[in-house]
Structure 1
Amino acid sequence: MPGCTVAVMRRWLPLTAICVGTFMLLVDVTIVNVALPDIARDLDTSFTQLQWVVDVYALALAALVLGAGSLADLYGRRRLYLIGLVVFALSSLACGLAPDAGWLIAARGVQGIGGAIMFATTIALINTSYEGRDRGTAFGIWGAVLGAAAALGPILGGALTELDWRWIFYVNLPVTVLAVGMTLVAVREARQPGAPRPDVPGIALFSLGAGAAVFGLVRAAADGWAGSWGPVVAGLVVLAAWVLVELRRPAPMLDVRLFAGRSFSGIMLAAFVLNGAAFALLVYTSLWLQSIGGLSPLQAGCVFIPLSVVSFVVAAGGGRYLQTQPPRFVLGGGLLLIGAGCLLMTSVDADSTWRTLVAGLAVLGAGVGVANPTLASAALAAVPRERSGMASGAVNTARQLGFAVGVSVLGTVFATGASGALRDAGTPDPSGVASALSAGQAPGILAGADPQARAGLADALGSGYAAGLDGVILAAGLAGVIGGLLVLLLVRAAPPGAPAEPSRPAEAAAAAAH
């Protein structure tokens, strides 16, 4: 019996090493949410800087995960995974030591690069580490880890921020040491024979275009659209150039012809909207709970327990059944649940407390639990077999890009709603106050006010933040509902296990080279 137990542990040690790294890098997408007020107070950040602390990590993940996958095919997936772990650890240390906002943003960007390298190798490492039924079990566990990581981030962030916000980054160091040790012991090297050189022009153009567009959206949230159109338009032009370049390359980072298929386009839309609607709003919700509601970071993190628990239970309990259902109904239904959950929370006003959010967060969690586990398998079923690695990378790219765009777009929605309410209340410089509110600076504004005016100012700040947050939640809800309806229209009814359409011979040869 002991020998059997040791054999079982040894068999699943590679998966454990991969899941430890995956969990860590995905937790860091949302772990900073509840720490934002403390970061803002400690580093004296602006609204724009806080947005970039969150966005630059997701943007680096989105921009580089496909390119990192081609590097892993060429130079070895285990080697790249280890490099990603080391980069992630060193940048996490730099984040924890950050003396100012600029340093923190730069370190978060490097952290995203390490995360992209790790994330790009995980599916291939699992694929080469397991076979048959074990491979299916491994991917099921890995999918549950994906959902749990995003949902548990705010709770873990709240607990660590009670010590100091810097611990949300320092905690990555011992976890990385554990993951590196297990990887060296248990994971074997694998590479793709005859893998092509990385698509450097494609990687550079996509990163530049996406970065410029998100920069413009973040700037619009803080300063208005007057001076923000330039970066957005420039980013879209660069992305258009990227499409033209990818169409002409024999081994592109992403074969954009895949988007000619309605199902593939609908699945990418689902991945984009899921993270943009379900998780981007948590940034503004967490700030409201602490700076207006007076909750501690841990208490604010615990408010999201309904989202975390329900999403995990639904994904773990119903994942196998959902995998047998047509993806159009699973993904579309999941997004509609996300939209409904958000709309249940749109009654936020100046007198609301955290209890206003509970029911909506639970429904939102159910939507995440329904849709999240099916995304990867649906994408694989929608493309030719030789494009499966590209499809899984595209799903990860769409997820993180949706989060980055969601945070920036919802920032504009918040600023518009909050400044309008503050203007109606007669607050001087409503736009500036709205920007300070979204940076978690409500306590500082009250502390610096005339004592006799604090009560009226507190009411105005509460009403202003509630108006901004209500707009954010409504926008996320509408995105979920509209996205769900579009997915129902676009995605074919074939279940994920159905064979994908065969590619044309010329495309198959190019894909095999990739």
Structure 2
Amino acid sequence: MGLGYSISMTDPTILSANISEIRAGLDMTSSTASFVASLATLALAAAVLGAGALGDLYGKKRLFVIGSVGAVVFNVVAATAPNSATLMVARAGAGVGFALLLGLSLAIVNDVFPPERRAAAISLYLGASFAFSAPQPAIGSLLAEHFGWRTGFLVAPVVAVITLLITLRYVPETPRAPRKPDLVGVGLVAVALLAIVYGISRLAEGLKPSALVPIIIGLIAAAGFVIRELRTPTPALDLHIFRSKSVSVAVSAGVTKNFLTGGCTILFAYYIVAIRGESPALLGLLLVPATILQAFAAIGSGRLADRIGNKSVLVIGLALLLAGLLVLTVLEKDSPMVVLFTAIVLICLGGAVVQTPQSTIMMSSAPPGLSGAVAALKSATGQAGYSLGPTLFALIGTAIFVQDGARKLAVSNITEEQAREALRVAHGGTESGSGGTNVLDPDRARAVVAAATDSMVDAIHTLSFIMAAVPIAAIILALVLLRPDKRSAPA
């Protein structure tokens, strides 16, 4: 199960890392390349809740096997794609396969293990997922660099074949729910998730119709889904589980974790490339040991939960996320790289620690016959949070940077055009040829570049302080709404 989960985590990363070579190889426009890079993620978001619901009806193992086969077939098609259209079809199909792997792996673990062993099994499953995920992006990038971009698509099929063989040999079939499929509900939630996640991804371009219209459509579909599920006798997802305070807190903690992980990844990359002038590959190198530590943290958090309870472990994980943000508030342009690495480790560890109690709480609250839908709900809400994080971090961070830059320009007698020209030249461009009043002397140009860098660092500090409110709110919710676990005294 951990192998299958790792495929859905790492394959989109491998594609994104090599998108420049893919774009050149298939002669794609930048907009087409951007769409291809996000297509599997969009398809996953649209299909993940439906995957869980259908797994409850037709067998989780059966659909997990189909997802593994899909990961093999569609990635091989992507590796041999002669044009961008074929690649788009392959990535959409792969996204559906990833949804089956992501949405059903946790549900299978939940169904196979008895309640007294479930928390330990979930922590081992998450630990294995992180451990298997650590090397795959590096392997994919190395293959693409030395043997061409097409070989990057072959990592997932190899892992999927191993996953398929192990599943067929060792994983038992899970119980099926004897009820009619709620195809209308599955369709509505697919439209809602697809439209909302796509609209959120377009918010980086501003509050334009290309972002707002999909979000509105998604919200309408989501409202229709809620109405449908409350009225139908055989819902794809029993929304009454949200009456449980524990489930609501677990969902909010998961969204917090994914929101901060996605947003902070953008901050890490921005700091390394734009402020330090280092290669983007440095972030990948820093993430490898952090991801390995996540594996140990996920396993350790399961054991810790057995001792002190899910509530305490959940709060510890959220506190680690908060600590990571606070480290970013003291990060300077010339700080030792260990400071950035500390922030990366804290964010990664916090996310791993949160996942184990979150998963345990949600799966223990799943109604009979709906474990697949509840597991998929965890994935769907997490996907939405992960998509929202980079967008909001970028929007708010850019606004802070622009406001600070405008304030500094106002007292420097340097026009916006002059500052823009100086920054463009400093980042590898040539003088625009407009000449005259838009060209600063070297000393003032250097001052503009230095001030811009300072503003970037200040923006990271301010943004990190603002975003610290998110884990603080989640911690308060957990402390107020979650009850301590009832545990028997040790023998």
> What is the TM-score with the length of structure 1 in the denominator?
0.75
For each residue in 1:60-87, what CA deviation from the matched residue of structure 2 results, as whole angstroms up to 9, or x when unmatched? Answer: 3344223213333444433322221222
Deviation of 1:306 after TM superposition, in Å, equals: 5.5
| Structure 1 gaps, min length 5 | 1-17, 434-441, 498-514
**Matched letter for residue 290 of structure 2:** L
| Structure 2 gaps, min length 5 | 410-414, 433-438
Matches within 5 A, 1:16-31: 18-28=1-11, 30-31=13-14
User: Secondary structure in 1 aligned to 2:291?
Assistant: helix
Distance in 2 (alpha carbons) for counterparts of 1:266 and 1:277: 16
- Most deviating of 111-120 and 416-425: 416-425
8 Å contact 1:161–1:297 — kept in the other structure? no
Distance in 2 (alpha carbons) for counterparts of 1:445 and 1:255: 57
State the identity as a percent: 25
1:509 matched to which residue of 2?
none
Distance in 2 (alpha carbons) for counterparts of 1:197 and 1:114: 23
User: Secondary structure in 2 aligned to 1:357?
Assistant: helix
2:188 matched to which residue of 1?
205
The partner residue of 2:480 within 467, 476, 489 is 489
Task: Say if 1:464 and 1:340 are closer, same or farther in 2 by CA, change over 3 A.
Answer: same
The partner residue of 1:179 within 163, 167, 175 is 163
**Matched letter for residue 67 of structure 2:** G
1:10 matched to which residue of 2?
none
Distance in 1 (alpha carbons) for counterparts of 2:476 and 2:20: 36
Alignment of 1:264 with 2:247, yes or no, is yes
The partner residue of 2:342 within 350, 354, 359 is 359
Distance in 1 (alpha carbons) for counterparts of 2:93 and 2:456: 32
**Matched letter for residue 173 of structure 2:** A
**Matched letter for residue 160 of structure 2:** T
- Most deviating of 233-242 and 103-112: 103-112
Matches within 5 A, 1:231-380: 231-290=214-273, 292-305=275-288, 307-348=290-331, 350-351=333-334, 354-380=337-363
Distance in 1 (alpha carbons) for counterparts of 2:386 and 2:220: 21
Distance in 1 (alpha carbons) for counterparts of 2:244 and 2:416: 51
For each residue in 1:7-51, what CA deviation from the matched residue of structure 2 results, as whole angstroms up to 9, or x when unmatched? Answer: xxxxxxxxxxx332222222235555655777789878769975x
**Matched letter for residue 190 of structure 2:** S
Task: Say if 1:181 and 1:41 are closer, same or farther in 2 by CA, change over 3 A.
Answer: same
8 Å contact 1:70–1:253 — kept in the other structure? yes
Distance in 1 (alpha carbons) for counterparts of 2:335 and 2:19: 21
Q: How many residues align?
A: 470
User: Secondary structure in 1 aligned to 2:233?
Assistant: coil
Alignment of 1:402 with 2:385, yes or no, is yes
**Matched letter for residue 282 of structure 1:** T
> What is the TM-score with the length of structure 2 in the denominator?
0.78
Task: Say if 1:32 and 1:280 are closer, same or farther in 2 by CA, change over 3 A.
Answer: farther
8 Å contact 1:29–1:57 — kept in the other structure? yes
Distance in 2 (alpha carbons) for counterparts of 1:251 and 1:86: 29
* CA root-mean-square deviation: 4.2
User: Secondary structure in 2 aligned to 1:304?
Assistant: helix
Bigger CA radius of gyration: 2
Distance in 2 (alpha carbons) for counterparts of 1:340 and 1:241: 39
1:119 matched to which residue of 2?
102
Alignment of 1:448 with 2:429, yes or no, is yes
Distance in 2 (alpha carbons) for counterparts of 1:323 and 1:446: 53
Deviation of 1:198 after TM superposition, in Å, equals: 2.9
8 Å contact 1:272–1:403 — kept in the other structure? yes
